[in-house]
Amino acid sequence: MVGMKFGSKTFVHVIRDRYPYSMKCDTADLFVSNLTNNTIYIPSGKEVGFNCKVNGNVTELTFEQWQSYGLDLGTTIKVTPDIQTIIQWGREILQHTT
């Protein structure tokens, strides 16, 4: 089952750990937000991980494993750009807001 839908978004995540999302995940009953076609940016040298219960045990999934459960299909992971680029993205979004 899918919760709220979030798709085709740019998600700049300044993380100290490996996990872009903080949500309950259990492969026996997948009730998570529908996350598709996003871009997740993480700092250089970091690898993303996803905590999810698999067969009753909390397991850290790789991005590929996460997607194998039908989550974040079409989503890509890239290195976080410099702060000026992020600020420019914000300006562009605000210019298109009415």
pLDDT in tens, the chain (98 residues): 333 444 556 666 556 566 666 667 777 776 666 677 888 888 888 888 888 888 888 888 899 998 988 888 888 888 888 889 988 988 888 887 66
Q: What angle do CA 24, 42, 37 make, to 5 degrees?
A: 65
Give the model's pLDDT for residue 6: 47
End-to-end Cα spacing for the chain? 34
pLDDT at 5: 44
Tokens standing for residue 90: 């914000």
* Of 16, 32, 17, the residue nearest 66 (C-alpha): 32
